[in-house]
Amino acid sequence: MSINTALQTILIALILGFVLIGSQLHMTIKAADTVREAAIEEWALSHPDGEAAVSQYRELCQRGPSINPKEKPPFFSKKECAIQLGYDSLAKVIEQASNSVEVPAPLRWL
């Protein structure tokens, strides 16, 4: 086996590793989003002002970047945004839902 063949083999293995980890990361993020949305919907149904709270949460916490930073409260995560809006129980539900998604093995090792 020549050095070129060995280097090509290593390069292919690295590329496949990055593709595997990237696809697992994408699937894990999608699964977490799905579980989080289901938990938010369930929370909205079980609280008297849930629909209005979830509507406000979605408007302020889940939209994309704002042109005017004063329009959007500063936060680092969806959980923190819910806390800043005064919905501590919603923040807890969001955190529990996100933590319930199991990360696949190769991605978990990183």
DSSP 8-state assignment for residue 71 = G
Range of the domain at 79: 3-108
Give residue 52's identity as a one-letter amino acid code: A
Our count of domains for the chain comes to 1
At residue 69 the predicted structure's pLDDT band, cuts being 50, 70 and 90, is: low
In this predicted model, what pLDDT tens digit does every residue of 33-62 receive, in sequence order?
999 999 999 999 998 888 999 988 888 887
Cα distance between residue 32 and residue 4, in whole Å:
42
What residue spans of the chain are helical by DSSP H?
A: 3-46, 50-61, 78-84, 88-99, 105-108
pLDDT at 106 > cutoff 80: no
Which residues, at least 6 apart from 50, have a Cβ–Cβ distance to it below 8 Å? 43, 44
Residue owning tokens 């590793």: 17
Task: Quickly state the pLDDT bin for 97 (edges 50, 70, 90).
Answer: very high
Residue that has been written with the tokens 């042109």 in this structure: 67
